[in-house]
Amino acid sequence: MADPSVAPTIDRTGDVPVDQPGGPAAAAAAPGPPPATPAGRPSGAGPERRTRWWRRPWVGPLAVVAVAFVAFSLPPYLTLDPARSRIPTPSDLGWYHPMLVVHVVFGAVALLTCCLQVWPRFRRRYPVAHRRIGRVYVFAGVLPAVAVGLPLGAVSPFGPVARVSNVLMASLWLLCTVAGYRAARQRRYGDHRRWMVRSFALTASIITNRVWGVVWTIALWPQLDTTFGGDQERLTQTVAGITTWLGWVLPLLIAQWWLDRTSTSRR
């Protein structure tokens, strides 16, 4: 006969002895994941790796340059006066200047919002604001800017080379932005980050475009009377053709190089 002093205790809510393998006592004693911290990370995990500010030294200067660029470029277009436009308005296209104003305004929204989106500390500390500003970037910045930018680019007054560049750049800008937004909606955050870095590079290319314009104008101006036969329009179209391509191709290549470099360093 079994000794009653060692008889298994029966769980009154079921038929499984509480002190047998698989019983409630064993389940309660089974090891589980460590309790989570308020941030949602296991308490036993090491401290979260954070990017030091000096590893992203370009964030502050980018914001300053973007604000200064918008403050300089936007006001003339807010007057709605074609005479104050910094881009020549084709005389036979009455719709050109109104659409140019729309493009500049929404492009300014995209440029200013992308400065916050590429700031790692802001993304980490304010994820809700990051998502909301991201929607502004997409729906009140890039998408309307591209919608009017494509027809504007196709009839650019700066010649056929610039037209091809403008249409291709706008198409890639749209592609990268939509792909990044879809990836975020599908919670593929790694893909989202990569696509949006490309999108931001194309957004900021308007600044590098202007820089290259100054550089190539200075470089080619001495050849106005020789190479260009005194034809200033020909010189302008040549400078525009060079700068429209360099303005977005180089930033996009640099962004892709940076993505490949950081991806390799994390393996």
Overall number of domains in the chain: 1
Can you give the pLDDT at residue 264? Answer: 67
Q: Is residue 20 part of a domain?
A: no
Q: Is residue 31 part of a domain?
A: no
Can you give the pLDDT at residue 6? Answer: 45
> pLDDT tens for residues 115-153?
889 888 888 899 999 999 999 999 999 999 999 999 999
Mean pLDDT across 144-163: 96
Can you give the pLDDT at residue 167? Answer: 97
Can you give the pLDDT at residue 61? Answer: 83
Highest mean pLDDT among 58-62, 171-175, 262-266: 171-175
Closest Cα partner for 251 from 114, 158, 77, 46? 114
Mean pLDDT across 81-105: 92
pTM of the model: 0.76
Mean pLDDT across 177-197: 96
Distances (CA, A) of 59 to 63, 107, 229: 6, 19, 44
pLDDT at residue 34 is higher than 80: no
pLDDT at residue 71 is higher than 80: yes
Terminal-residue alpha carbon distance, the chain:
64
Q: Is residue 24 part of a domain?
A: no
Can you give the pLDDT at residue 195? Answer: 97
CB 85 within 8 A of CB 77: yes
Q: Is residue 187 part of a domain?
A: yes
Q: Is residue 107 part of a domain?
A: yes
Choice among 26-40, 147-161, 216-230 with the minimum mean pLDDT: 26-40
Q: Is residue 13 part of a domain?
A: no
Q: How is 188-228 classified by DSSP, letter by letter? A: -HHHHHHHHHHHHHHHHHHHHHHHHHHHHHHHHGGGTTTTT
- Residues constituting the chain: 267
Q: Is residue 12 part of a domain?
A: no
Range of the domain at 74: 55-265
> pLDDT tens for residues 193-210?
999 999 999 999 999 999
Distances (CA, A) of 86 to 91, 104, 111, 127: 15, 11, 18, 38
